[in-house]
Amino acid sequence: MTSSHQHVSNNSNVSYELSSVQQGIWLGQIANPDIPLYNIGMKLEIKGDLDIPMFEKAINLVVRHNDALRLALFQEGDIARQRVLPSVDITLELVDFSDYVDSVERAQEYLQHAFSRPFNPLEGILWEAQLVRCSASRHYWLGRYHHLIMDGSGATLFCHAVAKAYNNLLVGIDELEEGPSYRDFLVKDQAYLNSPRLERDRSFWRERYAHIPPSLLQWSGDHAVGSMCKSGHIRSTIKRDLFNAVAAVATEHGLSPVTVFFAVVSAYFSRVGGAEEVIIGMPLHNRTTARQKQTIGMFSSVIPIGVRVDPNRSLLELMGDVAAELRRCYRHEHFPIAELNRALNIGHSRRKQIFDITLSFEKFDADFFFGGAPSKAIRMYSGFDQTPLSIAICDYYSDEDVVVDFNFNLACFRPDEVERIRDRITLLLESVAAHESTPIGQLALMGEAERRQVLVEFNATHQALQQDLLVHQLFEQQAQQQPQALALVCGDERVTYAELNERSNQVAHALLSLGIAPDDRVAICVERSVEMVVGLLGILKAGTAYVPLDPGYPPERLRYMLEDSAPVAVLVQRTTRDLLGALTMPVLDLQSMNRTAETEHDRVLPTVAPQHLAYVIYTSGSTGQPKGVMIEHRNLVNLVAWHCEAFNLTHRKRVSSVAGVGFDACVWELWPALCVGARLSLLPGQALGNDVDALLGWWRRQDLDVSFLPTPIAEIAFAQGIEPASLQTLLIGGDRLRQFPNPDSRVALINNYGPTETTVVATSGLIDATQSVLHIGRPIANTQVYLLDAHGQPVPIGVSGEIYIGGAGVARGYLNRPELTAERFLDDPFSAEPAARMYRTGDLGRWLADGNIEYLGRNDDQVKLRGVRIELGEIEAQLRQIADIRDAVVIAQEDTPGEKRLTAYYTMQEAAQAMTAQTLRAALQARLPEYMVPAAYVKVSEWPLTPNGKLDRRALPAP
């Protein structure tokens, strides 16, 4: 029973099947019985005198003459049917707040609460009317309907009918003509469901959406419950002048306003989502005859309208495409959306329906007069919606601004995100009249305030850090100030700053005797050890750049790196010398070097400038060979200065180093500690570092304040509850963070991101388990991050874009690769400095509202695997060099959450003999590091292709 009192006569024996549209609503209702998912309606604000008994009589007159208002459902076995009750008498309930000072506020709160009550569809009639009094001259009439028996047009017709009946009663007319019967529609609908037209419509929609584009939205993890998620609501307006200008453009080109709005919304979501095709659900009145247009009841349907959006074409051209698609689809509008989703097999995907967004345009007379009292209709929302985003444009009053309602699923959107969508769509609407011929890809998506926020405010990172000394000079300063302080602990070895300074000076003098100069390069191939640090310091003191060669690399890769970097000398240990084969340049063994030589020159004078090279480190390359990244001293000094200030690193701190010499994380671990006089605990040897359990066992035993772990290893530590007792700050990076530490941990967790080409770290931020998004932080000191679209334009907050990095960390470029350097290191168009450059990362991210960045993955064939960046193209190139391999594709698969592995797919030359996975693996192990060798190998006879002729990676067979 509803709160308006009903007297119901049940002596009707004629029943009807649910219409095709009602059937889909019924199934949704029984799946969600306890929420008001299908409540629709409005409140009418009535200002003026109102005769309440007469108002109640008017409602009953309309109910008596319109059968949809007397519909009741009942269940016959598992099937729902409906009948029209002979009579329903309504006793209007009056809720009175007129005695309260805040009567209007109390009334609004009550109205929303009352509207959000769910119906029991098998109990009584499926609508309710209440009258709420705020004063003698101000009332609200609440009309709450179940969507099974009413749509928006029907509710408006009901309001008009009640107003007409009330006004007739005022002048003594107490009769009302019979309204058109809703039963006529039910009969016609059943005829449609049994006609050939149904199958023609089904065939049309199946053919139209044989290929369904990806979802426009990024779903949150709790959206598995889909329609049960609570929704939010934001009401805004389009200024009447703007709306009229948009309507004038439509009229000029023979289009309807809805076509323009549809084109604008499609263009927006295509731009922000990078989608070539956009599908938006369009609610339709579905009243095809003049009689149906005057019938109270439920007729409306929703059809998917899909358009391809080409950023090189104009909004005007897109409007034409939308108009053509609307004409094409209108012919099949009667086909029910629930049946369409079943026909397209949507239920087998995570999506609940073919579209994620609906756009409705409502234009009708919403002026109702009750005698001399005018009223205004205001749409109501229940707080639940099965569609992620519904946009309703309501042109009710020609002399007022146009209302736009945004109803959004809270599992998909936050209110601030929807507010930004609203602002950007408004901005695009303003472009319609002024820029209708401008390519869509060039239309502004942000106003000046948001553009300034993402380009300037989020990048306000200037810090006057101490950068007058280079890293080896900062180290020497510490050696002078605290010579007996402990610098290194590695296994059983303990080395003071004075000892480390003396030993590195010996290396520097030995190198200087070879006649080296700034920007020369010296290679170093050593295991993690005291000699590693001695060698690196000695190279920098000599004024040259070091080229780290990891002993774990295969000989072929080491030989290529030596050949490409052309070092003037090579530093080795006895255990690593034989890995390098025959060499023509001088080779210095760090373990047998004479420590007593040239001690009279204890301190080496600096010979380099900030613009000279500090190191060249090799990363995976798409051509089949690694590429050397050239980092200058100024880049390195900025990293060190930022790190020391950000994490309060001082001579009293204890830090660790676990990375091998060939990985850029080693740079970050070593130099900040040695530049401030901290104690550095060094993980000894290669074997220990390759055993995660052994590494974490060693790490747990250390006495540490600040430490770094690669993200995948850190997540293992989180899962096992491992952390040093004294640890205060844990730095992570190198892969996407998927798991939080124990919420009870007192350790500050700092997530970091940065390509080798921007000197290890570009963004950094504190992570805690209360955050909803695992972000990568903000730009570090003197660093700028830009998120750009395919046209090089900044993307708005919350929108995916490719990450570009500018500022003090940007490397000189790639050694011996001028063309690749020009391709990836670009002029910075957003900087005021003429020579500023930015690096194109190939990574995707999006700004969060607080200025942090969410990492979204790779934009190309580069992947992160166990914390190491891998260019899949390099592996593919090496596969193609194997005899009888014709072509190869390598993909990273995540068979279980958080566990990626590489799978190689290949085709073979004709008449070639089959190759085993063991043969292919062995061939690649001779050419690539172990972490780049695929785990699985699949031979295919031909490549699966998409309709566009591109490789369909999703269609590749499982290994």
Show the 3-state SS of 337-394.
HHHHHHHCCHHHCCCCCCCCEEEEEEECCCEEEECCEEEEEEECCCCECCCCEEEEEE
Amino acid letter, 261:
F
Answer whether 461's CB lies under 8 Å from 469's CB: no
Which pTM value belongs to this model? Answer: 0.80
Dihedral sign for Cα 75, 76, 79, 83, please.
Answer: negative
Q: What's the average model confidence in pLDDT over 213-221?
A: 63
| Angle, alpha carbons 230-231-236 (nearest 5°) | 165
Q: What per-residue confidence (pLDDT) applies to 627? A: 95
Q: Model confidence at 347, in pLDDT bands (50, 70, 90)?
A: low
Which pLDDT score, from 0 to 100, does residue 506 have?
Answer: 95
The pLDDT of residue 897 is above 80: no
Is residue 251 very low, low, confident or very high in pLDDT (cuts 50, 70, 90)? very high
Percent of the chain with pLDDT over 90: 69
Residue 226's pLDDT is what? 42
For each of the domains in the chain, give its residue range(s) and CATH number, in order of start.
5-186 (3.30.559.10), 212-338+348-365+382-448 (3.30.559.30), 862-955 (3.30.300.30)
- At 689, the pLDDT band (50, 70, 90 cuts) reads low
Residues sharing a CB contact under 8 Å with residue 957, sequence separation 6 or more, in sequence order:
938, 940
DSSP string, 34-56: TS-TTEEEEEEEEES---HHHHH
For residues 621 and 310, which has the higher predicted lDDT (pLDDT)? 310
Mean pLDDT of 207-211: 88
pLDDT at 396 (0 to 100) = 85
Look at residue 860 and tell me whether its pLDDT is greater than 80.
Answer: no
Q: Is 310 helix (H, G, I), strand (E, B) or coil?
A: coil
pLDDT of 70 reads 96
Task: Using alpha carbons, list the distances in angstroms from residue 212 to 203, 216, 217, 340.
Answer: 15, 11, 14, 13
Percent of the chain at pLDDT exceeding 70 = 92
pLDDT at 9 over 70: no
Please tell me the predicted confidence (pLDDT) of residue 274. Answer: 78
pLDDT at res. 338:
83
pLDDT confidence band for 1 (50 / 70 / 90): very low
Query: Which DSSP string do the residues of 195-247 spell out, in sequence order?
Result: SHHHHHHHHHHHHHTSSPPPPSSPPPGGGGGGGGSBEEEEEEEE-HHHHHHHH
- 534 vs 870, residue with greater confidence: 534
User: Is residue 868 predicted with pLDDT exceeding 90?
Assistant: no
pLDDT at residue 873 in the model:
74
Least confident of 216-220, 572-576, 643-647, 865-869: 216-220
**pLDDT for the residue 440:** 93
CB-based contacts of 102: which residues, under 8 Å, 6+ apart?
Answer: none
Look at residue 600 in the predicted model and tell me its pLDDT.
Answer: 45
Say how far apart CA 83 and CA 782 lie, in whole Å: 73
Q: How does residue 816 score in pLDDT terms, banded at 50, 70 and 90?
A: very high
CA atoms of 45 and 138, how far apart (whole Å): 7
DSSP H helices in 490-615? 497-512, 530-541, 555-565
Average pLDDT over residues 204-211: 90
The mean-pLDDT minimum among 69-73, 645-649, 895-899 falls in: 895-899
Position 5 pLDDT exceeds 70: no
Lowest mean pLDDT, pick from 71-75, 617-621, 892-896: 892-896
Q: What pLDDT sits at residue 220? A: 43
Q: Taking residues 441-451, report their average pLDDT.
A: 92
- Residue 108's CB is within 10 A of a number of other CB atoms, namely 17
What is the predicted pLDDT for the residue at 552?
Answer: 87
pLDDT tens-digit readout, 495-549: 999 999 999 999 999 999 999 999 999 999 999 999 999 999 999 999 999 999 9
Residue type, 741: P
Whole-angstrom distance, CA of residue 892 vs CA of residue 936:
11
720 has a pLDDT exceeding 90: no
Give the pLDDT confidence score for residue 468 in this predicted structure: 84
pLDDT in tens, 151-169: 999 999 999 999 999 999 9
Our CA dihedral for 163, 169, 174, 178, rounded to 10 degrees, sits at: -10
Mean pLDDT of the chain, nearest integer: 90
In this prediction, residues 400-422 reach a mean pLDDT of 92
The larger pLDDT score, comparing residue 249 to residue 411, is at 249
